[in-house]
Amino acid sequence: MTAFALDTDDVAWCAELRALTADRLRPLAEKAEPGRVNRPLVAALGELGLLRRMFPDGGTVRALDLCLLRESLAQECTEAETALALQGLGACPVLQSGSERQRARWLPEVTAGRAVAAFALSEQDAGSDAAALTLAAEPDGAGGGWRLSGEKCWISNAPEADFATVFARTGEAPGARGVTAFLVPADRPGLSGEHLDMLSPHPIGTLVFDGVPVTRDDVLGEPGHGFGVAMRTLNLFRPSVGAFAIGMAQAALDAALEHAATRTAFGGPLKGLQSVSHRLADLATRVEAARLLVYAAAAAYDAGAPGIAKRAAMAKLLATETAQEAVDAAVQIHGARALRRGHLLEHLYREVRAPRIYEGATEVQRTIIARELYR
């Protein structure tokens, strides 16, 4: 397989994933309360073996598999896609940097869909500039542990997650070099949080740490090297955020194509109007270009090629911006009906905005690309 074409097995697997999502996962998503963790949906992802594709027994995550999973699920059910992605984002640091004990305790529960994970990096004033985080890990006596004090914000699956990968400042050095990653179970004393009511229907909230105790056994990787734990996870997941965006873009494009073929206006179908047909042609081209860039970034990651940060940033940048354009154009082609609550495009319109911000905003991706160009 090259970076620019899927083999027949991957194509067949994607078709199977879309059918499975529509048949088994979308009904569970439709029954859920917006803004809350949908545990039946997470359990179904485990029962169907989809979470295991992110956490294979050999321990090596195939970035292209992750992209194909997220794109295929997103075309049929964004809630299912996001539930899967959040499990990966929260637990991937455990897979990559956790001890044998940590992996044995949590990864089987995550892959089975019994435990819900969270990735707690962002803070109220430390989002795009993640190295500016202020959650404090103060030394806790002679035992070599710490107590966490402060707040995390915009955390997916918070405060309902069963555990969180938490990044706190232990102060070995200034900036990113003084950050440590901890695995913090939800039942630790002093840990609380609340839900945030957001534009999209996904569970997002705060985590409040009031002297939460953590020990050396809770550290992921090494003290003072937590920012590397975060960046390894984000480098893997950034191309797949692009894949999520491409799934939404394709769903919007498919809806626009169907509507333009069947909607009659000015004496014929909308697709007969050059302004509409050329718009669809441009969108289809941009979606395919973004898809190929996502696949290329994932294939480069899997091959251990150089320049992963630049490739991942390019993929996320183009894919998320393209998805925003595709959904907006599809709404325009549909007209007012697309703005009615419950319409697919109304749903996508709310969903598509956030990926241009999280895991590095569009402006951050441009900064990364420019920095890498001048290395």
Quote the CA–CA distance of 171 and 149 in Å, as a whole number: 14
**Distance between start and end Cα atoms, the chain:** 30
Ramachandran area for residue 370 (φ above 0: left; ψ -120 to 50: alpha; else beta): alpha
Quote the CA–CA distance of 31 and 368 in Å, as a whole number: 40
Q: What is the SS3 assignment for 120?
A: strand
Instruction: Please provide residue 118's backbone torsions phi and psi, each rounded to the nearest 5 degrees.
Output: -140, 150
DSSP class of 348: H
**Could you tell me how far CA 27 lies from the centroid of its own chain?**
21
Q: Other C-beta atoms within 10 Å of 363: how many?
A: 12
Quote the CA–CA distance of 246 and 257 in Å, as a whole number: 16
Catalytic pick among 258, 359, 363, 372? 359
For 319, counting Cβ atoms within 10 Å of its Cβ (0-12 exposed, 13-18 middle, 19+ buried), the class is: buried
Instruction: Please provide residue 264's backbone torsions phi and psi, each rounded to the nearest 5 degrees.
Output: -100, 130
Quote the CA–CA distance of 203 and 37 in Å, as a whole number: 6
Contact 126, 132 (CB under 8 A): yes
DSSP class of 108: H
Each as own residue / partner, the long-range contacts of residues 168-176 (CB below 8 Å, 24 or more positions apart, any chain) are 168/133, 168/135, 168/136, 168/137, 168/226, 169/133, 169/134, 169/135, 169/136, 169/137, 170/137, 170/146, 170/223, 170/224, 170/226, 171/137, 172/223, 172/224, 173/224, 175/131, 176/131, 176/227
Contact 200, 350 (CB under 8 A): yes
Place of tokens 């970035």: 63
Q: Is 288 a catalytic residue?
A: no
The per-residue DSSP string of 37-68 comes to: --HHHHHHHHHTTTGGGTS-TT----HHHHHH
Which residue numbers are catalytic? 359
